[in-house]
Amino acid sequence: MRRVWLDGKGDFDEWRMAARGLLINGVPPDAVEWRLRDEEGADLFAVGEAETSVPEQAVAPLPSLTVPRAFMTLAEAVICHSDPARLSLLYRTLHRLQGEPDLLAIRSDADVAALNALEKSVRRDCHKMTAFVRFKEVDAAIGATRRRFVAWFEPDHHIVARTAPFFQRRFTDMDWVIATPKGAAAWDGKVLHVSTVPAENPMLTDATDELWRTYFANIFNPARLKVKAMQAEMPKKYWKNLPEAGLIPAMIAGAEASVVAMAERAAQDAPLFHSRLQAAAKIAEDIDRPPPGTLEEVREEARHCTWCALHCRATQTVFGEGPSTADIMIVGEQPGDQEDLAGRPFVGPAGRMFDAIAREVGFNREEAYVTNAVKHFKYEPRGKRRIHQKPNKSEVQMCKWWLRLELDLVKPKLVVALGATALSALTDDRQHLADLRGQTIKLAPDRSLLVTVHPSYLLRIPEEGRKQEEMARFRQDMARVALFAQAAILGKELGRQRARESEGSRSDDIQPVG
C-alpha cells in the first residue's frame, strides 16, 4: 500500500504531481492511501509520496497518459473541497479515464456524480464569499496614500486562493486583507499574497456597518418576503459576520403588520407644480400634434404604442414609410436589428436584397409604401448579438390595428405580402404561403394581394443551387409587381391626359359674348 501525504489545502499542483507519479508507475487506486498532514495522528515529518509497502516491480507502468481538459478544470475546483475523500476520488477517476476517455460525459456514473457534487459545493462557497465579505476600514500606515481594509469570512472549503483574484480585480485601488480560518489573502496594490495559515477573527467594526444596516432596511420589501428563499440565498451561518443580519429577525416578525400598513396607506396627490408641468406638456403636445386622420398622426401615435410586451425591449417603433397615396404597399414581417436602430423599415440585409432585385426588374421602391405586420423588433439576446425571433399570433393580432389604419389611409391598389406573417396579418384565412405563392387574390373590390416569400428566407438558404432557384422565383414575383407599377403609372398619365382634353373641349364650347 502506498501512502501519500499532502497538505490538502486547495493546492492543485501538489495533488497533480503526486497523482502523476502514481499514474506513470501504474499504481491502481486501491493501492494508494491519501493522508493529510494536519489530520489526527499524522506524521508531521512526512513529505510527498512517503511510504509504500508494494514493491516498485509489482505494478506495470502506463505507456502514456491521457488527461482531458474537462477533468483538469473539474479537479482544480474539487481539490478545494474540505472532504478528505476527494483525493482518492480524483485519483480513481483519473485512473479510469485512461481506459474510459468519455467517462465524464456519463453523468449517472457514481464517481462523476460525486465529483460534480463537490464542484458545485465549491462553486457555491466561492459565490457566497464574493457576496458576503464585508470590509472594515483600519487606520492607514504613516505616509500611506491608500486606504486599508480588513474582512473576516468563514468558508466551508479551501477557496481563499481561488476567490482572491476576484477581490483583486474589484478592489484594486485599496489595500486589503481577507482573513479566514482556512487561510488569508492580502493585496498591497502590487502583489496578491495568499496564505493557507489559519487566521483569527479581528472582531472589527466601523462606520460602514451602519450604512449596511440602512441599505438593507430600505431595500427590504415585506410584501415579497419568503423566509425559506431568503435563507437559501443568505444561510444563517453567515449572519454572525454580516452587520445587517441583526435586523432580519425583527423585520421578519413585523412583516405582516408592515404589509397591512402599506395597504391602508392612502395615495397622496402629487404636488401642485407637477400639475402645472403636466398642463404645459399637454399644451406643447397639442401644438406639435399632426392633423387628425392623417398618416403622420397615426405614425406619431404608434411611437408610443405599448399594447404588447415587444415595446419593452425594442429601441423604438418602426412605422411604415413611403408616399401616402402609393398604389403599391409592401408588407414584411417585423423590423430587424438594423431597422430597430435606424427606425426605418427594410434597411438591413433583407431590405438591401429586396432593393437589389427590385431594381433588376425595373421596380422603384420609392414609389411604394413599405411597412411591416409587426412594428417592434422581437429578438433573443445572444452575447453581443440580437437574434431575430418570429412574432407569435397574439403579437401579430395586436399590431393588425396599425396595419389596417395604414391600408385605410394609403389606399393601395396592390398589397405585396412578404412571408407567412404578413399573409396572416392581411387575411383571416389560415392558408399556407406555398399554396398562394405567386398568386394574386382579391382583398377588396379595388385592392389585390400578391403573395411571395420574405427576402430573409432567401438569405437563410444554405445550398447554393436551391438558393438561386428561389431567387429566380422571387425575381419573377417582383417582375409582376413592376408590371403593375408601370401599368398604374400609365393609367394615371392617361387619366391626366383625358382630363386635359376634357378641359380643352369645355373651353372651346365657351363662346365670347359680343
Domain boundaries, the chain: 2-129, 133-195, 216-260, 293-495
The most confident of 50-64, 126-140, 251-265, by mean pLDDT? 126-140
User: What are the beta bridge partners of residue 6?
Assistant: 36
Task: Give pLDDT tens digits for 223-251.
Answer: 888 888 888 888 888 888 888 888 888 88
Q: Has residue 510 got a pLDDT over 90?
A: no
More confident residue, 140 or 291: 140
How confident is the model at residue 491, as a pLDDT? 84
Cα 170 to Cα 103: distance, rounded to the nearest angstrom: 37
How confident is the model at residue 63, as a pLDDT? 57
Q: Has residue 206 got a pLDDT over 80?
A: yes
Order of all β-strands in the sheet with 328-332: 369-372, 328-332, 414-418, 447-452, 440-444
Cα 160 to Cα 88: distance, rounded to the nearest angstrom: 23
How confident is the model at residue 366, as a pLDDT? 92
pTM, two decimal places: 0.50
Q: Enter the CATH code of domain 293-495.
A: 3.40.470.10
Task: Give pLDDT tens digits for 332-366.
Answer: 999 999 999 999 999 999 999 999 999 999 999 99
How confident is the model at residue 319, as a pLDDT? 96
Cα–Cα nearest to 106, from 70, 78, 73: 70
How confident is the model at residue 14, as a pLDDT? 94
Determine which helix (DSSP H) or strand (DSSP E) holds 329, and give its type and residue range: strand 328-332
